[in-house]
Amino acid sequence: MSREQATESKEVHDVLVARWRGFQTLAKTLPNHHILAVELIRTLEDTTIAVFTVVKDGTPIRYVVTGDSRGRVKANPGHCASPDKAEADFGTKLVPDVADPAVIALGIPPPQQPSTPGVVAVGGGLLAAAFDVGERVDISPK
């Protein structure tokens, strides 16, 4: 690993840790089910993910909903909930060789629980709105 890559790896690690600590502090002050963050991302594999960071029992937890390139979520909840995807994709490496945009959202620790039906429903709606409908709207300045 080059010196530059090591510096980038340390910077990414610092951001991940700082975000998670912020989520931990905020989660202590909010009731269950409050959403701390929702991130919609297209991965390097041209799939889409919605990462929800939610309060549960005073701690932050993450749920992941996975869609195809247009944000369409499969009906099979096992396909939508991918707590092991982060570990499979990134393993023990903090920063992959080519940084996938999902690495910050999936964070440390990666999601550990399957997504609930409610999270899948909301995530599916957000993914479709952002990556299907949203990409059909001309957003270029006139």
pLDDT of residue 140: 75
- pTM for this predicted structure: 0.73
Spell 38-68 as b/e; 16+ CB within 10 A means b.
Answer: bbbbbbeeebbbbbbbbbeeeebbbbbbbbe
CB 80 within 8 A of CB 74: yes
Q: Which amino acid is at 2?
A: S
Nearest C-alpha neighbor of 130 from the set 46, 65, 70: 70
18-29 tens-digit pLDDT: 888 999 999 999
Domain boundaries, the chain: 3-134
Cα(41)–Cα(4) distance, rounded to whole angstroms?
25
66-83 tens-digit pLDDT: 899 999 987 544 433 333
30-40 tens-digit pLDDT: 999 999 999 99
